[in-house]
Amino acid sequence: MSKIKFKIKELDIKQTTGIATQWLKANASADDIDIILLWTRASNCSCISVEDEQGEIYALFDIWEAPAHIKNMKVCFSPKHSFDLKGQKYSEFIDTLDKLINVLISIFNYVVKLSDKWGVVKIYNANPLIGLIFADFAKELKRKTPDYGVKLYRNWVEITNPSKQKGKGVGQ
């Protein structure tokens, strides 16, 4: 299993644009680059990195602020850490899959922690594998912490913090 510890870091516009430029030179998906640059132009969007202890970036993801909740819409993986599982030997496959799961756990935990402030967080991902993994994480959160509200619909996972649910506030 991977011994990598990932940290989450909010990036400013200059950092985000610099990473997009580096990734473009490293043959990242043009769609991912367009999305990352869109994040820099939106006033209600933050770009967040998932980095190892040496500061190497494995993924970027977005946090969009809406009036009553926040949303995570997209995860863009570094071209160096694309998590392509095709054609790998078994041990490489397991190591790659382990890193992928740990990156997604880091993102999920960060987004759930935001529910302390926002009350409701919504996670969307068009990638069926990533969407399924986030849905499984949400089910496990609900199993371990039944007070959390969890709704799964289409490609969305919605999590409501227990302290923010109606009738569950302080003194109620």
pLDDT digits (tens, 9 = 90+) for 92-133: 778 888 888 999 999 999 999 999 999 999 999 888 889 999
Residue 167 reports pLDDT greater than 50: no
DSSP helix, strand, coil percent of the chain (3-state; round to 5)? 45, 25, 30
Asked if 72 and 122 touch (Cβ cutoff 8 Å), the reply is yes
Whole-structure pTM value: 0.88
Q: Please indicate whether residue 74 or residue 163 has the higher confidence score (pLDDT).
A: 74
pLDDT tens-place string over residues 47-99: 999 999 999 999 999 999 988 889 999 999 999 887 776 777 877 778 888 88
Kind and range of the H or E run holding 73: none
pLDDT of residue 85: 67
What is the arithmetic mean of pLDDT over 151-156? 91
CA distance 122 to 115: 9
Q: Which two tokens stand for residue 130?
A: 């990533």
b/e burial code for range 147-160 (CB count within 10 A of at least 16 → b) = ebbbeeeebebbbb
Of 73, 62, 59, 75, nearest to 156 (Cα)? 73
Domains of the chain, earliest start first: 7-164 (3.40.630.30)
pLDDT of residue 170: 34
